[in-house]
């Protein structure tokens, strides 16, 4: 059974810092991995989707990498802003038909002005 973990559980940084969020998964037979952000009490906003054949994806200040063989993904946020404060979740889709997303517990990020 796929298990997804995220480190750290919470992170507080001053505005302007670059930071890295980590996601690990136990079963490397994945189809893709998706990063989301969630503001308190709100739905999830898709940030980046990485297919299993890809090594990284970039969108603006965000860069996500995937090392499938080691079961790891990282989300790099450049020049952090207070508006980046949210919970960041990674979700892994298994490589078998019908395997759907298993979410990590999330990293709660606070960017201080």
Helix (H/G/I), strand (E/B), else coil: 84 = helix
**Residue 31 interacts with another protein (CB under 8 A): yes or no:** yes
**Residue 43 interacts with another protein (CB under 8 A): yes or no:** yes
> What b/e string do you get for 29-45 counting C-beta neighbours within 10 Å, with b at 16 or more?
ebbbbbbbbeeeeeeee
Among 32, 37, 50, which Cα is nearest to 80's? 37
**Residue 105 interacts with another protein (CB under 8 A): yes or no:** yes
**Residue 24 interacts with another protein (CB under 8 A): yes or no:** no
Residue window 49-88: x/- pattern of binding to another protein, with contact defined by CB under 8 A: x-x-------------------------------------
Q: Which stretch binds another protein (CB under 8 A): 17-25, 59-67, 77-85, 95-103?
A: 95-103
Q: Return phi, psi of residue 99, to 5°.
A: -75, 120
**Residue 103 interacts with another protein (CB under 8 A): yes or no:** yes
């Amino acid at each position: 059974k796929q298990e997804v973990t995220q480190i750290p559980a919470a992170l507080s940084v001053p505005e302007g810092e670059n930071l890295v969020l980590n996601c690990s998964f136990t079963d490397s037979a994945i189809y893709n991995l998706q990063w989301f952000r969630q503001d308190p009490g709100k739905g999830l906003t898709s940030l980046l989707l990485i297919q299993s054949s890809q090594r990284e994806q970039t969108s603006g200040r965000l860069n996500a990498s995937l090392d499938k063989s080691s079961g790891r993904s990282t989300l790099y946020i450049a020049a952090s802003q207070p508006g980046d404060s949210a919970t960041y979740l990674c979700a892994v889709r298994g490589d078998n038909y019908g395997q759907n997303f298993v979410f990590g517990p999330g990293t709660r990020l606070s960017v201080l002005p």
